[in-house]
Structure 1
């Protein structure tokens, strides 16, 4: 093959050729490893996620939440709505929630409900006519009126208070005494005092426009 070249030299050349080939493969592997490491260093890390509850379907206000009403979804930690509820089973919706909407503490009856009316007092109001309470929906703005049961005189106690939560499965018609039905409203501090005072001796009713 190589006339005139001693066999020992030919073997040495073959060994050197194999070494050069291996060096090229090693160099290529090292370059690939360095490139991969650099790309991993430059690539942004996977965003941190949090588990939040969303509505499995459209849910009306007053719904008593159970497992079929909610599903868990992963959200980027920076995009999850503030006040996202982590555990709401057995709680009551204070406002309607659409399918896929994140459930927040401001949507369920409880301490977080105050967030729905920032700067206002959250106040339970007993309406003697329970049937009237069932006509209301969360989000309604209503005027609260008081009627003196002795004289029949009526006056407006508070205007434009917001209904935050309504009852479900209440009997219709006036029940009086400790009956009726409770609704939760958001009012100013001054209105809350007036409403509470009127509720002690007056017959409360509501009027509103949708």
Structure 2
């Protein structure tokens, strides 16, 4: 008995360390057992302006509850670099098919639908638009005798699918991408040669009418 006591006292520190380690291991195992399942979700690593072309460092992955993954979430980070953001995104917002501008924007659209790019001189007009808004495109020309300006609607009730502003040059034209048909796209392109284009947000038919 005395020998066992001597062995115990001689190794009590070692035994105490082993017991502490076993307790920590047991606690960690219990926490892991109780932790809810999680899955990876690709989100914006920083605030992104509308129309941004994604780089690899614009994307990060977070762990979330599988039930929190939105429909259409992008699952492969390799497919994101080079894609364009269809609207402004906040840091931490998930990348989904609805937030990216690509071939999918024409899915389910009538045959002949195209995406036309409208260059707008006043960036403030673009800032007032959001993806999904309807907009009229107005071509403004000045009379040759300088008597005044004349505006003509060259695109009516066009759906906005993306907006882009050149943040590096505040004087550069802003860009709006809209859905139209081939004839409408040709009319917009022709108007841009001789006129200053303006965009005006419009309400869907019937809204605001008595």
Alignment of 1:112-191 (within 5 A): 112-115=104-107, 118-119=109-110, 120-150=113-143, 152-168=149-165, 169=167, 171-172=169-170, 179-191=172-184
Alignment of 1:83-98 (within 5 A): 84=74, 86=76, 87-95=79-87
Where does the alignment leave 5 or more consecutive residues of structure 1 unmatched? Answer: 1-50, 174-178
Give the corresponding residue for 2:36: none
TM-score, scaled to structure 2: 0.54
Q: Alignment length, in residue pairs?
A: 152
User: Structure 1's 72 and 91: CA in aligned 2 closer, same or farther, altered over 3 A?
Assistant: farther
Separation in 2 of the partners of 1:83 and 1:181?
Answer: 29
Separation in 1 of the partners of 2:44 and 2:94?
Answer: 6
Note if contact 1:85-1:103 (Cα within 8 Å) is conserved in structure 2.
no
Cα deviation, residue 138, structure 1: 1.7
User: Structure 1's 56 and 182: CA in aligned 2 closer, same or farther, altered over 3 A?
Assistant: closer
Note if contact 2:52-2:164 (Cα within 8 Å) is conserved in structure 1.
no
Alignment of 1:1-210 (within 5 A): 53=42, 61-65=50-54, 66-67=56-57, 69-71=59-61, 84=74, 86=76, 87-95=79-87, 101=94, 103-104=96-97, 107-115=99-107, 118-119=109-110, 120-150=113-143, 152-168=149-165, 169=167, 171-172=169-170, 179-209=172-202
Cα deviation, residue 140, structure 1: 1.6
Cα deviation, residue 182, structure 1: 2.1
User: Structure 1's 68 and 83: CA in aligned 2 closer, same or farther, altered over 3 A?
Assistant: closer
Cα deviation, residue 102, structure 1: 5.3
Cα-Cα RMSD:
3.7
Cα deviation, residue 158, structure 1: 1.3
Cα deviation, residue 83, structure 1: 9.2
Larger Rg: 1
TM-score, scaled to structure 1: 0.54
Cα deviation, residue 165, structure 1: 1.1
Separation in 1 of the partners of 2:199 and 2:168?
Answer: 17
Single out whichever of 187-196 and 87-96 deviates more from structure 2. Answer: 87-96
